[in-house]
Structures are given as structure tokens and as C-alpha cells.
Structure 1
Amino acid sequence: MRSRVPQIIVSILLGIMLLFCQMTPGLASTLEQKKEELSKVNNQLKERRQQLRENEKKQQDIVKELDSIERDIAQISSDLESYEQDLSRLQQSIAELEPVLQEKEEALKKKTETLNQRLRDIYMKGNLSYLEVLVGSTSMSDFLTRLDFLRRLMENDAKLVRETTAERDELARQKRELEEKKEQVVSLKRATELKRNTLAARSQEREETLKRLQADKAACERAIRELEESSRKLTQIIQQYQSKNPNPSPPQGNGSMIWPAAGPITSGYGMRWHPIYGTYSMHTGIDIGAPHGAPVKAADGGTVIYVGWMGGYGNTVIVDHGGGISTLYAHLSGFAVSAGSNVSQGQVIAYVGSTGNSTGPHLHFEVRINGYHTNPLAYL
């Protein structure tokens, strides 16, 4: 829908040009006959302008969406880095623990074999082995020595049982810990893969959003070019009028223009960043800040050669001052004159507004020499 609006505007401009080219000196009466048709066209354009404003709002939403995606990507990247660090630490811990467990398992296996052998010996010989040692003593000293040996042997057997049991329990605990770490690795790998996929999806979404924004940007740049085309059409309208009216009727300009509206300059003449489209383009006049409905006065005396809608300029009035000089007043909220009227310097011709491509109430004022824009400050 957005791409059709400039085409409609250009078509209307061409129709208006043909109208002016074919008009006789009875310009005002001819324009009256076209008012009804122009009113219908303006109603259609009102709908299209609303669609344009909605598209501009969508562009702002896209910028916010892009900012949100960028923050999500940054957070996911940070989480992914943290997961990968945790995964690396776990894998390192597993790599260190596995050989230690293997050594402990081998040592436990040997102790278990020793313990099993002792248990078999005890089972086979029973308590006789201890009695034989005691009975076979040759003296009291030998008896005490043998008794101490038996006590130590029993303590070693008990210690071996305790150590073997404790080591078996510890080995089982470490094995469980190892299995838990392996499960954590599997879980982290899944989480990492999920984060990678999420990041890839968000990155793809970011790319698509960027493409949409760039497409809208291209559309805006096309709109700027079409506005420049509108400016060229304005030049043609002025030049054609001036060629058909080389000696315009009085009142004529006095050569010293007055300010068309009371207020400060909010944007000067020359190259600038467009406040709506964000493109670097030529500003063909000056913007004068003023409240909505404030009077707009003719900068000099002359003949009104255009009153109506002019694309991105919105509601526009053009006054020819003779000698190839004309002035343009744009973004108006309403008109106080009609095409073909003669106006004097300082006469109210329109009212400040924000129609067309405008971010708020102001007057866009141009001075044109033979249809070509020039710096208005040189004439004010």
C-alpha cells in the first residue's frame, strides 16, 4: 500500500500541471469548477496519508523489536559462554577423576583378594590355628610373644576389613559422582545446543527484521525522490505560469520580502537529515516554528498561482511576484485565498498546520527564482 501512495500523488500533480497549462486568464473561475473533483481527491489522499502514518508507526515498532532482539542475542551469547565454560570444567574434572578411580579400583581389588584369602584360611582352619600357636609355646616368653602376634594378626584382619569396606563405599560414592557429572555434561550439552539453536533463530529473526527495515528505508528513499520530483513539478508549474503571464497584473512585489510567519527558524535551507525518513537530502526552504492555525502572510505582493495539495508539501500556496520570483508556503492547515487572486504584502493567505510529510505544526517557506529554489534568507 505504501508504494502506491507516491504514485497517486505524482498522478495528481501531473493532473494539476495539465490543468494550469490549459487555463486561460480566468484561472479562478476554472479552479472553482474543479473544486468538487479536488475535494474528492483530497479525501482519498487523506486515507492514504493515514496509511502512511501507520506505516511510519510500524517502522518505529520494528526499531524497538530490533533493539529487543539485540539484547536477547547478547544475553544468549553470555549464557552460551557460561555453559561452555561449565562444560569444559566438568569434562576436565571427569578426565582427572577417571584414572584416579581406576587406580583405586585396582587397589581395592587387591585388598579384597587379600581379605578373601584370609577369610578362606580362617574358615578352613577355624580357631585351631590360634590354639596351636598358644599350645605350641615352649616358654612363658614364647607364649607372650605368640599371643602378641595373634593379637596383631587379628587387628590387621579387622583393619583390612574396615579399610576394604570404607574404600569400597568411597569408590561407590565417587563412581556415583562421576555418573552425575556425566549426566550434567549430557544435560549441559543439550542446553548448549538449545541455546545455539535459539541464538541462530534470533539471529535469523534479526536479519529478517533488518531486511524489513532496510526495505522500508528504501521505500522512504523512494518517497524522498518522489518529493524531489514534486519539487521539479512545482518548478514547471511556476515556469509555465510565468511564460504565459510575462506581465502579471498588479499589485506587484516591492522587492523586499517580509517574514511570512512569526516564529524561529527550526530548520534551515540546505542539506540535512530528513526528520521522518532519516535520509540525507536537500531542504529546499526554511521551516518557521509557529502554532497550529497561526496566520501565514504573503511575503510580497503578487498573484496566487496555486492553492491545493502538493504531495509531501501538504496543503500549499504559491504566489508569483513577477520578475521570475515566486514564493511557496507549505504544510498549511487551511487557505485564505484562491488561485488567481491578487494579494498584497502582509495579507493573510493561509494558516500554519502540519499536513503532508511533517512532524509538527510549522510553516515551510521557499523562494524560487524562475522555478528553482534558493535560500529564502537572502530575500527576507
Structure 2
Amino acid sequence: MIRLVALTIISFISFFGLNASLAAAAGGNTTPTAKLNRIRAAMASQQQKVKESGIQSFNLEQELKKIDLHLRVEGQKLRDIQQKLNRQEDYLQAKEQETKLIVRQKEAIKKHVKRRLAAFFKMGGVTLVNAVFAAHSLSEAINTREEFRFMLRHDRKIIERYRTRISLLREALRNITASKNKILEIIKEKQAQEQQLIDSRMKRQKLLNRVRLQKDLYQQALREMAAGAASLEAKINKSRVPMIRARRRKISRAHRSQRRHTILKSGFAAMKGRLAPPVSGKINRFFGSQNGKFGLKINFPGLDFTPAGDLKVRAVFAGKIIFAGYLAAYGNTVIIDHGQQYYTLLSGLAAIYKKTGDVVQGAEVIGLAGGDGLLHQGLHFELRYGSIPINPLPWLTGSWKTAPGENSGARGKTKATDKPATTKP
């Protein structure tokens, strides 16, 4: 009962100490982040204590197992010694009974010998008077006396044997008694050792119970701290949501800006003013609003070239052919994807050397000029960003004459001109 009360008091003291640690972790600086950091530090400390308690509990359990094993071994030894003592006591009792029997037999023979001696002395010696007045003859008297002497010597030998046997039995009794006393001392020593083991086991069991109780309290405090930390972290995260969203938007804008900058510095986007024309010859129609065939007013989406000499048509930049074939109003047409959403279209071809899916390099021949299209004259060349036509002229190398009011960067707003320009691929 006293031990139970002591353990209960220790439990309450430990529990209140842990609660005080938890309160201290949550107190101090009122900043939620600072509180959360203190709670996490306290949780780390509690986790270390739980770990140490677990190790101590494991070590105590191992010690208790060793003590239990030792107790079983010593208990078996004690039982064996007790059995040996029981056998010694039985043997001692048997020897005592045997000694008593021999002593009684010796006493009986001793009485018998005394009676013979008395009779022998009554008979007296063989004198002249006995010889004259005896009822028997002299020879018979002498023979009787010798027989008495023989019997007395025989009785003396028997008594000596009994004495020797009794002496041996008493020596055996002394040895057995000494052995018994020694066994009793061993039993007493083993019992003392067993009691020491029992006392040691009780102490370690109490310590183990205390360590387990402390571990449970540490774990309870750790759970409370974890719950508090989770609640506080949820509040902090909730308060940070607008800031996080704003930061993500800022990062997203920065990424998009960086991506645009990267695109402009590499690939097709970096080739503005550096592309060779697709064919040698002159430009006979420019990008922009103008009159087309049959007097139709059109917003011309590209450039028309009149080939001069070499009719080979070349890719202006590396890319993948996504269309190669006949296209209504365009005639034989090749469309190349250059990446970064840039496409070039070449139509009015007399022959196509590539097929859909082929990968071409810059200046690689893809066909021959000389075909016709419904809405263009000569080789028709377009540059598009996605589906939006772009004026190809500013992207080409060389010096070009543009129509009055034409802006090289405009998309579909320049006027057409009939003045051809000379090109050199």
C-alpha cells in the first residue's frame, strides 16, 4: 500500500512537471511562430526522454530476465541440496538404528558373559580337595574347566567385534552428522543468496514500474504538445495563406518573364533579322493590306518571291515538317514547326522533296519553286506565331524596300507595293 501511494505521488509530481514544461514552451514571446518553435523544441526534449526511458526500461527488463533465470537455477540447486540432505538424514537415522541394535546385542552378550564368568568362578580351580570330593573324575573336571575357558575367549572375541563395529558406526555417525551440518550451512547460504536475488528483483521491478510510468507521462505530454503544435501551425498557415498566394503569383510572374526572356534569347525567337530568304530572287508582293488576284481586297499574310536562276527552295531555320502536300488556294505547300510556337509556310512549289514528319536543318532544300497558287504569285512565304501572321520582312537578312507607310514590325497593317526587291539567300 505504501509503495502504491509513493508511486502515485511520483506520478503526480512528474505529470505536473511535464505540464509546467508544456506551459513554459507555450508562454514567453507571444509570436505564434516563436511559440511553435518553443513547442517543437520541448517536443524534441520529450522525445529524447521517451527514448531514454525506453532504453532504461529495456535494460531493466533484461536484468529481470537474468535474475529470474538465476533464481530458477539457484532454486534447482537448493532443491537438489535439500534432497541430498534428506538422503543424509535417512542414512543417519538408519545408522543410528543400527548402532542402537548393535549396542543392545553387545549388552546382551555382555550379560551372558558375566553369568559364565560367575559360574566359572563358582566352580573354582582343580585342587586336591576338589579332586577327592568331586562327583566327577579328575579328567572330567579338567575338561570342563578348559571348555569354560574356550567359551570365555570366544565371548571376548565376539565382544571385541561388537566394540569395533560400534566404534565404526559411531565414526560413521559423526561423519554423517558433519556432512549434514555442512549441507545445512550450504542450504542456509543458498537461501540467503536466493533472498538477495528476490530483494534485488523487487527493487528492479519497482524501478521498472517507475520508468514505465515516467515513459507514459512523457508520451502523454508529447501527444499534448503535438496537438498544440498542430493547432498552432494550422493557425499560422491560415494567416499565411494570403501572403503565400501573393508570393506564388509574384514567383509565377517572374517565371513567365524569365521564360519569355529565355525564349527571346534562344531558338527561333533569337533569329530576327538573321534568316536567309527561302529562295534566290525578288520580292514581288509584301506583307499587308492590298489588292490580290481578280481585284480582291486581301490582307496579304506573307511575301511572294519571283525566283531568279536557282529554283531550289530552302528551310529558313531548323524544324519539323508538320504538313507537306497540296493545300487549297495555296497549291503545293510545306509547313515547318520551328518551336516556340513559330511556323513558316512555303507554297507555290513545283516539287516537294520532304514528307510530313521529316526533320530539316536550316538552308536544307525542301523542294523546287515554279508552281501556282490561287492567291499568290511565285513562291509564297509566311511566318506565323501560333495562328497569327507576322511580317517576315524584318526577320530576313539584307536590305529591302518596303511600301510607303510600311512598318517592319506591323502585323497585317502595311500597304502592298509593286516594286520588287532583290534577294540573295
TM-score, length basis structure 1? 0.49
TM-score, length basis structure 2? 0.44
Higher alpha-carbon Rg: 2
